[in-house]
Amino acid sequence: MAKISIITPTYNSEKTLDRTIEALLNQTFTDFEYIVIDGASKDGTVARIKSFIPAFEQKGVTVTIISEPDKGVYDAMNKGIALAKGQLVGITNSDDWYENDSLEIMWKQYLNAGDEASNCMFYGIERQWKDDKVYMVYRRGADYLGEGTLPHATFFVAKEVYNKYGAFDLSIKVLADYDFYCRCVSDGAKLYGVDSVISNFRLGGISSSFFAYYEDFHQLQKKYNFITPKRYKEIMFVLKLKKFLNKFIRRW
């Protein structure tokens, strides 16, 4: 049984997938399984993944591919988590890529946690790219979880954490990952930051879900008592005003 399970959710990812997979094939730690959950892509995503299977087999890595309609990226992640057999689970999206030693670093962190390992979540530094240049590196301190989101692509979570606390809440459309970490920590899971670059993320344009992101974020801040209900109302009033002005400016 593999020590680590790596999950990639995909949908029409043929053009961005190669770098994600090549990064896994270049890992210094090879005792892992690879699970791809595809949302019934209409391009050549599944065929492209299958073309890499011989290279994975040469390294002793098993590949599981599920391609079927889903309810979005978090549903795909949940399907992968349910299939995962490793003690530690990482999720890398089809336009992200790990550093060559990411799995080795995170497995050592898991071992170093000793008796607490099965109740731990580990995350590291994310390097963000824009126009093929490094834009920034990012890792918020674990003690400041209430002040902002954490780099999801760097997370490695003990499978027992998912078994104990559940996976992603599909009723939360934008920040189900942030909700998951907050829920686990509030219920007693341990969160550890690692001072190493773990994952790379390619920035795109301004997200059309900007306001949906912050609506989810502030609602979760209130849910986990990072802000008071009064402060939440104040923030949401300002956000709604900005949303209205944004429509007006775009129109005129």
List, for residues 83-116, the tens digit of each pLDDT value: 999 999 999 999 999 999 999 999 999 999 999 9
Residue 196 has pLDDT above 70, yes or no: yes
Q: Model confidence over 39-76: pLDDT tens digits?
A: 999 999 999 999 999 999 999 999 999 999 999 999 99
pLDDT attached to residue 210? 81
137/229 same-domain check: no
163/185 same-domain check: yes
186/251 same-domain check: no
Give mean pLDDT, residues 156-170: 98
Task: Quote the tokens at residue 188.
Answer: 């007693």
pLDDT attached to residue 206? 42
236/156 same-domain check: no
Domain that holds residue 252: 206-252
DSSP string, 147-167: GS---GGG-EEEHHHHHHH-S
pLDDT attached to residue 208? 47
According to DSSP, the β-strands at 156-158 and 63-67 are unpaired
Residue 233 has pLDDT above 50, yes or no: yes
Residue 204 has pLDDT above 80, yes or no: no
Task: Quote the tokens at residue 244.
Answer: 């209205």
Residue 31 has pLDDT above 90, yes or no: yes
161/250 same-domain check: no
195/73 same-domain check: yes
The DSSP secondary-structure symbol of 13 reads: -
165/179 same-domain check: yes
pLDDT attached to residue 247? 76
49/21 same-domain check: yes
pLDDT attached to residue 1? 82
Higher pLDDT, 50 or 209: 50
Inter-residue contact 24 to 55 (CB < 8 Å): no
Q: Global pTM? A: 0.93
CA gap 190, 59 in Å, rounded: 32
Average pLDDT value over all residues in the chain: 94
pLDDT band for 207, please (50, 70, 90 cuts): very low
Number of domains forming the structure of the chain: 2
pLDDT band for 200, please (50, 70, 90 cuts): very high
147/186 same-domain check: yes
pLDDT band for 7, please (50, 70, 90 cuts): very high
pLDDT band for 205, please (50, 70, 90 cuts): very low
Give mean pLDDT, residues 163-185: 96
CA-based diameter of the chain, in Å? 60
In CATH, what number is assigned to the domain containing residue 16?
3.90.550.10
20/72 same-domain check: yes
195/78 same-domain check: yes
Residue of 47, 48, 59 whose CA lies nearest to 19: 48
Return the sign of the alpha-carbon dihedral for residues 58, 17, 80, 12: negative
194/215 same-domain check: no
CA gap 36, 80 in Å, rounded: 7
Q: Model confidence over 115-152: pLDDT tens digits?
A: 999 999 999 999 999 988 999 999 999 999 999 999 99
